[in-house]
Amino acid sequence: MKKNYFFTLLFTLFSFHLFSQTIVSTSPENKRAIVEEATGIHCWACPDGHSILQAKKDQYPGQVFAIKAHGGTFAWDCDPNGGHDFNNSYAVAVENLMNLNGWPSAAINRTVFSQYTDTGGTGMGRQFWSAAVDQTLQQSAYVNVGVELIPNFSNNSVDIHVEAYYTGNSPQSTNYMHVAILLDGVVGPQGSAETYNPADVVSDGPNTSYGHNEYDYLHKDILVDMYHGMSGDPITTTSSGSFIDRTYTYQVPAIYNDVEAFLTRMKVVAYISETQSQMIVNGNGAAIPFPEKDLAVVNLAGMQTVYTETEPMGTVKARIFNYGANPVSDFDISYQLDNGDIVTETFNGSIGSWGYSDHTFSTQFDSSSWEQDQFYTLTVTASTENDTNVSDNSYSLDLSRYSFCYPQSDCSFGDGMTSFSFGDISNLDSGCSPNGYGDFTDQSTDLVAGDTYDMSFVTGYGSQVFRVWIDYNDDSYFSLDELIVDNPMLGSGQGAGSFSGSLPITIPLSAPIGEHLMRVKSNWQTGVPDDACEETQYGETEDYTVNIVESLSIGEIEGSIINIYPNPSNGVFNINLNGEILLYEVANILGQVVADGRIENGDNMLDLSSNETGTYILKLTATSNGKFKLFKLVKE
C-alpha cells in the first residue's frame, strides 16, 4: 500500500514537472482524418473530390484535414500569365505513395482500406472517401497531436508548435512527425469547376484568358512544402505517457514556383506516421487567422489584350477577391497604362470575407496612338486602408495593338521554302513569293494536342536556317516561347541546289484548342532573328493556319484515364486504362455495333483486323453511373 502510494506520488510529480502540454489532450482520443488528395487543374472530376472533402470537413469540424497534392499530368497551369503552377516534388511523392489509379484519388491516414482499394495501395476513388473518413474517425489513436501557429510578420516566418501525447504504446519504437505546409485560397483556373463544385467558383462565367476558358476557382489547401521532406522528424519515445513538444520555424518564401505566397494564407497539417512513410496514426491542423483587411486584384477577368485600328477603345475589367476577415465596401480602384494618367473610380458595393466581385471601369482607354510591336502594361490597383498584404492589390497585364507584320526578304536565288508540308498542309513548289512573303493562311491543318507530326522543308539554296512559330495566344505576336522549330540548317555550306529535310514536331498537350497562325521563316547562313518581324537580306516568310484539336486517343471518364494507340492503326488498337472497368461498344459509320465487351484496368487489345478499313466510333461507358465518352478509331 505504502509502495503504491509512493509510485503514484512520484508519477504525479513527474507529470507535473515534465509535461507542460498546452495544446494536446492527454486523454485517449479517436483518430483525426488526414486526407492526402491527388488532384489537378485539368482533372475534370477533381472538383467533385474537393466538394466531397469539404462536405466531410463541414460534417466533422476540426476532425478532417485535406492536403491537396497537385503532382500528376493534370496539374499544369493554362493561364498564359502564369501564377498557378502548384506542382512540386512533394506532391509527386505523396501521390506516388498511394499507388493511385487515376485522378482524383485520396489516401485517408495512409491506410489500406481493403474493401475500397483497387490497386492494393492506399489510394481510393472518390466514391469511397466519405466512408473511409467515417471509419477512420471511429478508430482509437494511441497518440494525440496538437499544433498551433505563431506567425512572425516582421520576417515572414511562422513558428510551428507541435505537441504529441502518447495515450498508449506504439508498436514501433520510432514514429515520425510530418509537417505539411499548405497555401490556401489561390484564385485560378479549374476545369469543370462550374459543374462539380460551384461553391468554390469565383467568376460569373468562363475566364477567356485561360487556355480552355475555365472558370476562376478558389484553390484551397495546396501542398507547397514538407518541413522535414518526406522522411519526417523521428520520435524515439513512443510508449504510453510520452510527451513530445517541438517547435519548427518555417520561413515563408515570396513564391512557390510562380504562385505568390502570403503568411496570412498559410496552413499546416502535422501528423505522425507509424513507420517512416505509412499509416498515419493521428494528426491535426492549424491556420493563420484571416487578417482584418486584405483585398487582392486576382486577374483582369479575361479582358481583351489585343486592340485593333478599327476597334481601338479598351474597357478595363478587374476581378477582386477579399482575403480579409470582414466585408469591404466602397473602396477606390484605379488603373494606369505604363506611366500614363491614373484613372480612379469607386467600387460601389460590398465584398464579403473570401468573396469576389468584378469591377468594370466606366472610363475606357484609347489605343489608337499606340505603336506597333510595343507592349503597354495595364496595372489595376484596389486600395483599402490598412491592407495587410499590399503586394497583391495590383495586377498587371501587357496589352498590345494588332500589329501584324509582313517581313520582306530576297528569295530570288532559291532561298526560303520552295516546298513545305506539315500535317494536312502540303504546299509544294511554292517557289519564291513576291518580296519573300507568302500568305498561305487559307491552308490549314488539324493538329491533335499531344500527337507528333513530321514537318518537311525543301529549299533551293544551301545554308538555309528555319524557325517556326505557332501564335498560341492569338495576339499576332510570335514570341520565343511559341517557337516549335528553332534554327536547324539545311544544305550547310552549299550554294544553289535542292535541299530537303524533315523533323518531328510534338504538339504540347497544353496547346490552346482552336485556330492559330503559324509562321515559317528562313534566313541564309545565320539563325532567323528572335523578332519574327525582322527582315533579313536573304530568306522567306510563309504564314499558315493550324487548328489545335483535343486528343482523340486520350480521354477520361469518371477519373479513369484512357489512352488508345496507335490510332489510326491497321486494325489492332491498344487501349490502356488507368481506372475503373469500362464497357465498350464499337460501331461503324452506319451505327451498327461490330464489337463489344469490357475494358479492364491496364492494357487491353481491341482487334478490328477482320473489319473493313474506315472510321469507327468507340463508346466507353463507366459501369458505376453510365457516363460515357466517344472516341474516333481510324482503321487504315
216 or 540: whose CB is closer to Ca ion?
A: 540
387 scored as a contact of Ca ion (CB under 5 A): yes
367 or 389: whose CB is closer to Ca ion?
A: 389
Are 75 and 87 spatial neighbours (Cβ–Cβ below 8 Å)? yes
Alpha-carbon Rg of the chain, whole angstroms?
Answer: 30
129 or 420: whose CB is closer to Ca ion?
A: 420
Q: Which residue has the cell 517512416?
A: 276
**Taking the complex as a whole, how short is the minimal distance between the CB of residue 387 and Ca ion, in angstroms?**
5
94 or 411: whose CB is closer to Ca ion?
A: 411
Q: How far is CA 169 from CA 115, 177, 240, in A?
A: 28, 16, 5
Q: How far is CA 265 from CA 183, 483, 487, 573, in A?
A: 6, 37, 45, 48
User: Which stretch, 131-139, 262-270, 429-437, 572-580, contacts Ca ion (CB under 5 A)?
Assistant: 429-437
How many angstroms separate the CA atoms of 574 and 64, rounded? 41
61 or 434: whose CB is closer to Ca ion?
A: 434
How many angstroms separate the CA atoms of 607 and 601, rounded? 18
**Taking the complex as a whole, how short is the minimal distance between the CB of residue 159 and Ca ion, in angstroms?**
24
The residues pairing with 66 across neighbouring beta strands, listed in sequence order, are 35
**Taking the complex as a whole, how short is the minimal distance between the CB of residue 220 and Ca ion, in angstroms?**
18
Among 417, 447, 548, 552, binds Ca ion (CB under 5 A): 417
* Cell reading at 67: 492536403
121 or 431: whose CB is closer to Ca ion?
A: 431
Tell me which residues in 272-311 interact with Ca ion (CB under 5 A). Answer: 294, 296
58 or 371: whose CB is closer to Ca ion?
A: 371
User: Which stretch, 149-157, 227-235, 302-310, 383-391, contacts Ca ion (CB under 5 A)?
Assistant: 383-391
* Cell reading at 346: 469607386
Q: What is the SS3 assignment for 26?
A: coil
How many angstroms separate the CA atoms of 312 and 310, rounded? 6
* Cell reading at 207: 475566364
Helix axes 46-59, 129-138, angle to 10 degrees: 30
95 scored as a contact of Ca ion (CB under 5 A): no
475 scored as a contact of Ca ion (CB under 5 A): yes
Among 453, 477, 584, 631, binds Ca ion (CB under 5 A): 477
473 scored as a contact of Ca ion (CB under 5 A): yes
**Taking the complex as a whole, how short is the minimal distance between the CB of residue 167 and Ca ion, in angstroms?**
43
* Cell reading at 267: 496552413
Looking at the chain, the number of H-run helices and the number of E-run strands are 5, 42
User: Which stretch, 138-146, 282-290, 468-476, 509-517, contacts Ca ion (CB under 5 A)?
Assistant: 468-476
Are 182 and 37 spatial neighbours (Cβ–Cβ below 8 Å)? no
How many angstroms separate the CA atoms of 562 and 98, rounded? 20
**Taking the complex as a whole, how short is the minimal distance between the CB of residue 372 and Ca ion, in angstroms?**
14
The residues pairing with 442 across neighbouring beta strands, listed in sequence order, are none
Residue 279 burial class via C-beta count within 10 angstroms: exposed 0-12, middle 13-18, buried 19 and up: middle
77 scored as a contact of Ca ion (CB under 5 A): no
* Cell reading at 383: 486600395
**Taking the complex as a whole, how short is the minimal distance between the CB of residue 525 and Ca ion, in angstroms?**
18
Among 393, 421, 536, 604, binds Ca ion (CB under 5 A): 393
Among 389, 403, 443, 459, binds Ca ion (CB under 5 A): 389
Secondary structure (H, E, C), 306-324: EECCCCCEECCEEEEEECC
200 or 294: whose CB is closer to Ca ion?
A: 294
Among 36, 48, 200, 471, binds Ca ion (CB under 5 A): 471
Among 278, 430, 498, 621, binds Ca ion (CB under 5 A): 430
How many angstroms separate the CA atoms of 277 and 191, rounded? 31
93 or 505: whose CB is closer to Ca ion?
A: 505
283 or 416: whose CB is closer to Ca ion?
A: 416
How does strand 539-549 pair with strand 437-448? parallel
477 or 631: whose CB is closer to Ca ion?
A: 477
Lay out the sheet containing 306-307: strands in order across: 306-307, 394-401, 375-383, 328-337, 343-351
Size of the site for Ca ion (CB under 5 A): 13
Are 564 and 603 spatial neighbours (Cβ–Cβ below 8 Å)? no
Q: What is the SS3 assignment for 95?
A: helix
> Residue of minimal CB distance from Ca ion?
430
φ and ψ of 215, to 5 deg: -80, 155
85 or 543: whose CB is closer to Ca ion?
A: 543
Tell me which residues in 157-186 interact with Ca ion (CB under 5 A). Answer: none
580 scored as a contact of Ca ion (CB under 5 A): no
User: Which stretch, 81-89, 268-276, 412-420, 566-574, contacts Ca ion (CB under 5 A)?
Assistant: 412-420
37 or 387: whose CB is closer to Ca ion?
A: 387
User: Which stretch, 81-89, 241-249, 358-366, 471-479, contacts Ca ion (CB under 5 A)?
Assistant: 471-479
425 scored as a contact of Ca ion (CB under 5 A): no
* Cell reading at 163: 505537441
How many angstroms separate the CA atoms of 515 and 594, rounded? 35
430 or 621: whose CB is closer to Ca ion?
A: 430
How many angstroms separate the CA atoms of 180 and 94, rounded? 11
Buried b / exposed e along 123-162 (16+ C-beta atoms within 10 A): bbbbebbeebbebbbeeebbbbbbbbbeeeeeebebebbb
Binding site for Ca ion (CB under 5 A): 294, 296, 387, 389, 392-393, 416-417, 430, 471, 473, 475, 477
